[in-house]
Structure 1
Amino acid sequence: MNNTVLLEVKEGIGYITINRPEALNALSSQVLADLNHVLDQVATSEEIGVVIVTGAGEKSFVAGADIKEMDKMTPTQAFEYMTYANDTFTKLANLRQPSIAAINGYALGGGMELALSTDIRLGHEKILLGFPEVGLGIIPGFAGTQRMARLIGTSKAKELIFTARNVKAQEALELGIINHLVDVDSLMSEAEKLAKAILKNAPLAVEKAKHVINIGIDLPLSHAIRLETEAESLLFSTEDKIEGMGAFVEKRKAVFKRK
């Protein structure tokens, strides 16, 4: 495998870094293939409880898809490229582990779509977000039209996509595209602080909560509530539930084992 996507594991956190700074971390076919491979590693890891996704260098999270590569594609090739990218981003979105995007610069087009595939997003005051695609004669093709509309509503999503304008950090916070706006120098430490706040809780419960939210949002409310009830009931069979409630009653810190 090439080194266009790096994976480092430390203290329960899996750090995924898009490592193509000379191209502002643009998503080539090779990057997507490497990301897919890394996500398979994360999915089967017993060490990783939370994932942080970021970009190499100081300028860019991911500046977008690789336009030089896309420029030569036929419609059939473009379909295959988009399908593979969407399958990869869906794999990220559906990881059992919670994921955090530490947006450290440009997150445009495919980069914005990569960030939208994570559960929680942090950015600093110098980030720039947006969908430039219609200015290139195409549309967001890595589920940007769908994930952004579900996140901020159809009207706001249409405005951003139709105008192809860039969004600065404060507006991104106000729209709810990012969860937290932090100082440039503290981006990664804040992402780690959030990851550690998640890691201290029962991992099976966190994973089940993510699953229920992801699935339930597309179900009728009554069906989603039933899904939640069934998930909650299953957790009553776990050792972590016994430990968590026992620790609460005994006024001590719980020690979870993901069992």
Structure 2
Amino acid sequence: MSVDFTLDAGVATITINRPEKLNAMDAEHYSGLSDAWKRVRDDDGVRVAIITGAGERSFTTGADIKSFVGAPPGLEEMWLTQKDQLLNRGLEVWKPVIAAVNGYCLGGGMTLLLGTDIRLAAPHATFSLAEVKRGVIAGNGGTQRVLSQVPYAIGMEMLLTGESMDAETAAHWGLVNRVVPAERLLDEARKLAARIAGNAPLATQAAKELAVRAREMPLSAGLRMEQVVNRLLMFSEDAEEGPKAFSEKRPPAFKGR
């Protein structure tokens, strides 16, 4: 039982490895996942990350509720807002994140999904925000992100009924990019990650941050911020390498500098 981390050619793969529990996470696994996201954020060798679950049944079903029964966090933790930060709990990770959804994506799995950038799903994947059936609400951004990622009525149906959505429906509404055969899921995610990793790292991270922040800024401020960031990037080594490689008809050797 663990949260596994591998790094190959700039692509980090994070695997929630608890298949016997449908990759549900107890406190230890949440802490391990937090450490993995911090490494993605801080390690210059990481250009893009893939998040998936071990086995063939589940991406993750979120919190292992049984492990928290009788041991709820103390009230004092309400103000430990930076403890064990997660991708979907406010940790700022500007490197692209791809989700490879290999089965159940429920509760906290769905809120994790909503914090990723690009999503591939196996045909048997299912998605739901079922917290209202348990007397609580979808935390870690569940209520805050879903309406910006699917149409209003679809998001509300998910939040208020707690019913499941299959992979094809999820793709129809844009919750995932596409459905791919289960046996090719990770390969397709890695191919996509490799294409992203081959681009200029600073520009890729800047593009992601600007697009995400645009949701909270007026257009005039966003356009100005875009202009300023682009001007800064022009002074990077990568901005020299890109046109040079194009003129020499060779792949660019971007260094993230």
Larger CA deviation: 87-96 vs 137-146: 87-96
User: In structure 1, what is the equivalent of residue 61 of structure 2?
Assistant: 63
CA distance in 2, matches of 1:105, 1:81: 34
Q: How do residues 40-55 of structure 1 correspond to structure 2 at under 5 angstroms?
A: 40-55=38-53
Higher helix share: 1
TM, length-normalised to structure 2: 0.92
Cα displacement (A) at 1:146: 1.0
Q: In structure 1, what is the equivalent of residue 241 of structure 2?
A: 243
* Residue 21, structure 1, aligned to residue 19, structure 2: yes
Name the counterpart of 1:187. Answer: 185
Which of the numbers 234, 249, 252 marks the counterpart of 2:250?
Answer: 252
Structure 1 residues 91 and 141 mapped into 2: Cα distance closer, same or farther (>3 Å)?
closer
More deviation, 227-236/38-47: 38-47
Shift of 1:246: 1.9
1:100-111 alignment runs, 5 A limit: 100-111=98-109
Q: Distance in 1 between matches of 2:83 and 2:132?
A: 19
SS at match of 1:87: coil
Q: Which deviates more, 77-86 or 145-154?
A: 77-86
Cα 1:55–1:82 shift into 2, 3 Å: farther
Distance in 1 between residues matched to 2:119 and 2:186, nearest whole Å = 12
Q: 1:39, 1:91 within 8 Å by CA — same for their partners in 2?
A: no
Which residue matches 1:30? 28
- Residues 51-130 of structure 1: pairs in structure 2 closer than 5 A: 51-72=49-70, 76=74, 80=78, 87-90=85-88, 94-130=92-128
Question: CA 1:138–1:162 in 2, change beyond 3 Å: closer, same or farther?
Answer: same
Equivalent position of 2:153 in the other structure: 155
CA RMSD of aligned residues (A): 2.3
Distance 2:69 2:222 in 1: 42
- The structural deviation recorded for 1:70 is 3.8
The partner residue of 2:163 within 158, 165, 176 is 165
CA contact (8 A) 1:18 1:54 kept: yes
Deviation at 1:87, TM superposition (A): 3.2
Listed one character per residue, the Cα deviations across residues 22-71 of structure 1 (whole Å, up to 9, x for unaligned) are 21111211111111112222222122111000011111100121111344
CA–CA distance in 2 between the matches of 1:167 and 1:248?
44
What letter corresponds to residue 245 of structure 1 in structure 2?
Answer: P
2:204 matched residue in structure 1: 206
> Hey, what's the Cα distance between the residues in 1 that align with 2:98 and 2:91?
11
1:141 maps to which residue? 139
CA contact (8 A) 2:34 2:84 kept: no
The alpha-carbon deviation at position 127 of structure 1 amounts to 0.3
Q: Give aligned pairs, total.
A: 257
Deviation for aligned residue 1:148: 1.0
CA–CA separation in structure 2 for the residues paired with 1:81 and 1:153: 33
TM-score, normalization by structure 1: 0.92
